[in-house]
Amino acid sequence: MTILVTGGAGFIGANFVLDWLEHCDEPVINLDKLTYAGNLHNLDSLQGDVRYIFVQGDIGDRALVDKLLAAHQPRAIINFAAESHVDRSIHGPEDFIQTNVVGTFRLLEAARHYWQAQADASKNIFRFLHVSTDEVYGTLAHDAPAFTEDHKIEPNSPYSASKAASDHLVRAWHHTYGLPVLTTNCSNNYGPLHFPEKLIPLIIVNALAGKNLPVYGDGMQIRDWLYVRDHCSAIRRVLDTGRLGETYNIGGWNEKPNIEIVQTVCRLLDQLRPRTDGQGYETQITYVKDRPGHDRRYAIDARKIERELGWKPAETFDTGIRKTVQWYLDHPEWVAQVQSGAYRDWVAKQYEDKSGTA
Ligand code: NAD
Ligand code: DAU
């Protein structure tokens, strides 16, 4: 048997492909468009591995997806492919609608036609697993209970609105056509291979380069952090034993204000790679203008996946963040390679806008 992973050259998708092939020998087809966020070096360790096939292409390219499904007959599609960065969605929402909404729609249609044409045995085992986010639930008040799967869908950014739209399409394809779908809504991931436009890797690479560590607004926005390999193990679990048509929230019970995340990274770097001038990295922290529409707090109630499927994260935040910082220190060539001209253009555009104070 084979699985088709989309977006497998990005942060979570690449960790998933690596994690999958560490756990089993079932081949993986990786369909990825290779946008700025897709990086084939993330999968360098699989060169020559007969269990892995890479195909460059768009999930919205129906002819290509039809051809891949017919040729490889996968028993599951796991859809990671997306535009994923909230700040970019504010600067330019169009790509988010194209990939996250139209792309998911076309992928669902390809999956539906493929699945409907299968013989009963293959039809029964087929799964379409859609990887989504806690951001579809909107923002939480400080003392509100964490998001359950029944929470209202109230997305606030172009990114989260596009993901919410894709979740609705997936739900409807199950309800109307019976397509065997599963949806996961996960909190903020961190870990190796995280592109340094996102908070944790940006802080690590900026700190080491002697640059400012930009904290939006008052730095008291709360995110719920999960080590990326725990997200991968949760997806494997949902794929194996999740109930069809269900949504599973995935989280690490690790709510932390952004400023605490930044301070933790600084303190780890102080231990592992102290500055040569004897000062702490915290002196580089700079408060900058806030993100428009910035959600104040996300928190995932992960009891359903624990109760029904027996999944729990393996890492604590302390163990996961230490591993992560160490990974960046050990991979300066990866960091240099992703900080291409295009990356520098983005950083200039995003942070020039924010110069000055909160
Ligand atoms: P990422 O931006 O690092 O990677 C996205 C990947 O998708 C890239 O390799 C890119 O080339 C590919 N891609 C983009 N458009 C495509 C298209 N039209 N066709 C094929 N491939 C395309 O994203 P990530 O952080 O790895 O997130 C993966 C998924 O997980 C996304 O769906 C995201 O919404 C979801 N998610 C992310 C987080 C997080 O904290 N990063 C948390 C919860 C859910
Ligand atoms: O909650 C899950 C989501 O987490 C995923 O669906 C998204 O794909 C993923 O990008 C992430 O979204 P966030 O917006 O929470 O992640 P980001 O790393 O961009 O920001 C985390 C927090 O840190 C957020 O409150 C904004 C803040 N921030 C971010 C950057 C890049 C800063 O204060 N400074 C920064 O420079």
* Residue 298 CB less than 6 A away from ligand 2: yes
84 Cα to the center of ligand 2, angstroms:
10
Q: Is residue 257 part of a domain?
A: no
Residue 353: per-residue pLDDT: 72
- Alpha-carbon gap, residue 18 to 151, rounded angstroms: 32
Q: How many domains does the chain have?
A: 1
**Positions marked active-site:** 134-135, 159
- Alpha-carbon gap, residue 162 to 159, rounded angstroms: 5
Q: Torsion over CA of 8, 316, 217 and 83, rounded to 10 degrees?
A: 10
2 Cα to the center of ligand 2, angstroms:
33
Q: Is residue 150 part of a domain?
A: yes
Is 214 a residue whose pLDDT tops 80? yes
- Alpha-carbon gap, residue 229 to 209, rounded angstroms: 27
Is 356 a residue whose pLDDT tops 80? no
Residue 96: per-residue pLDDT: 98
Residue 49: per-residue pLDDT: 98
**Given phi > 0 = left and psi -120 to 50 = alpha, else beta, which region is 91?**
alpha
239 Cα to the center of ligand 2, angstroms:
27
**Given phi > 0 = left and psi -120 to 50 = alpha, else beta, which region is 77?**
beta
Give nearest CA residue, ligand 2 atom 6: 133
Mean pLDDT across the chain: 97
Question: Per the structure block, which two tokens stand in for 55?
Answer: 């195909």
84 Cα to the center of ligand 1, angstroms:
5
Ligand 1 atom at minimum distance from 195 CA: 3
Residue 355: per-residue pLDDT: 64
Mean pLDDT over residues 261-277, rounded?
Answer: 98
Structural domain boundaries, residue 73: 3-191+226-250+295-314
Is 180 a residue whose pLDDT tops 60? yes
Q: Is residue 322 part of a domain?
A: no
Q: Is residue 22 part of a domain?
A: yes
Is 297 a residue whose pLDDT tops 70? yes
Q: Is residue 302 part of a domain?
A: yes
Is 298 a residue whose pLDDT tops 80? yes
Is 29 a residue whose pLDDT tops 80? yes
Q: Which residues line ligand 1 (CB under 6 A)?
A: 6-7, 9-13, 31-35, 37-38, 58-60, 80-84, 99, 103, 131, 133, 163, 186, 188-189, 195
Q: Torsion over CA of 106, 110, 113 and 118, rounded to 10 degrees?
A: -150
Residue 132: per-residue pLDDT: 99
Residue 230 CA: which ligand is closest?
A: 1
The share of the chain scoring above pLDDT 90, in percent, equals 96
Q: Is residue 43 part of a domain?
A: yes
Q: Which amino acid is at 245?
A: G
Contact 93, 144 (CB under 8 A): no
The enclosing H or E element of 342 equals helix 341-352
Mean pLDDT over residues 199-219, rounded?
Answer: 98
Residue 358: per-residue pLDDT: 46
Q: Is residue 337 part of a domain?
A: no
What's the CATH code of the domain at 103? 3.40.50.720
Q: Is residue 26 part of a domain?
A: yes
Q: Which of 10, 249, 233, 236 is nearest to 127 (CA)?
A: 236
The enclosing H or E element of 265 equals helix 258-272
Residue 102 CA: which ligand is closest?
A: 1
- For 305-325, the pLDDT digits (tens) are 999 999 999 999 999 999 999
DSSP string, 165-233: HHHHHHHHHHHHH---EEEEEE-EEESTT--TTSHHHHHHHHHHTT--EEEETTS--EEEEEEHHHHHH
